[in-house]
Amino acid sequence: MVPAAVLFDMDGLLLDTERVYRALWYEAAERHGIPPASVGYERFIGLAAKECYRLLSMEHPGVDVAAFRQHIATGFQARLLAGDIPQRPGVATILAALSEAGVRRAVVTSTIRSLALKKLEISGLLDRFEGVTGGDEVEHTKPAPDLYLLGARRLGLDPRNCVALEDSPTGMRAALAAGCRAIMIPDLAGPPSGADWTVVQDLPSAIPLILRLSSAPEQAIP
């Protein structure tokens, strides 16, 4: 038997949005007199927006966080209005393979649910998933396990019978803490040194790993 479901992260995995956010983040940093290199966008990947801005305010106490955040929101809203939310390579391939194999699919993202739904709709992916769980629906977002626990529960499944696909270390930690088996497909941030994780180069490369798994909790990804 294949796993009961695959739980997908969204930004940087399904949608090619992390580079957009990074460019906007660095633009905002420069406007506020912060050297972009001192911000280090990659370490924020996978975190909820509120946590990113909390860390920013701690590290740069004089920054106008509201204005910083507004610059990013306005820039990304323009992309939304233009319908410019491209899919990551291999998305159509993996979704078709999982559908043919009868594997259920859901999205688990730190993005607030309303924005996640909008992104998925514009990108043409919303109807390919059974459910969407967003970061505003839990008390603790990634790297805490709450989002994956809720995403699995909404499908009526034990997270141990789900495979999570993630592009960031933050997301991988969340999925593994929830008991999911997890595969990393890095985008901007690779795995940390020494991490004993399953890592593949793209979404299609994850298909054979997923399809040869048993649903038994003790089955590990080779």
CATH number at residue 141: 3.40.50.1000
Whole-model pTM: value is 0.84
Q: Same domain, yes or no, for 165 and 199? A: yes
Nearest to 179 by CA among 150, 207, 212, 208: 150
What pLDDT is attached to residue 216? Answer: 43
What pLDDT is attached to residue 220? Answer: 37
Domain count, the chain: 2
What pLDDT is attached to residue 38? Answer: 79
Q: Same domain, yes or no, for 126 and 195? A: yes
Q: Same domain, yes or no, for 123 and 179? A: yes
What pLDDT is attached to residue 91? Answer: 98
Whether residue 221 lies inside any domain: the answer is no
What pLDDT is attached to residue 1? Answer: 60
Give me 153's structure tokens: 């529960």
Q: 136 an active-site residue?
A: no
Whether residue 32 lies inside any domain: the answer is yes
Full domain range(s) for residue 48: 18-81
pLDDT digits (tens, 9 = 90+) for 154-168: 999 999 999 999 999
- Residues of the chain short of pLDDT 70, as ranges, are 1, 214-222
Q: 196 an active-site residue?
A: no
Whether residue 220 lies inside any domain: the answer is no
Contact criterion met (CB below 8 Å) for 15 and 45? no
Query: What angle do helix axes 203-211 and 91-100 make, rounded to 10 degrees?
Result: 20
Q: Same domain, yes or no, for 160 and 181? A: yes
Q: Same domain, yes or no, for 94 and 44? A: no
* Mean pLDDT, rounded, of the chain: 90
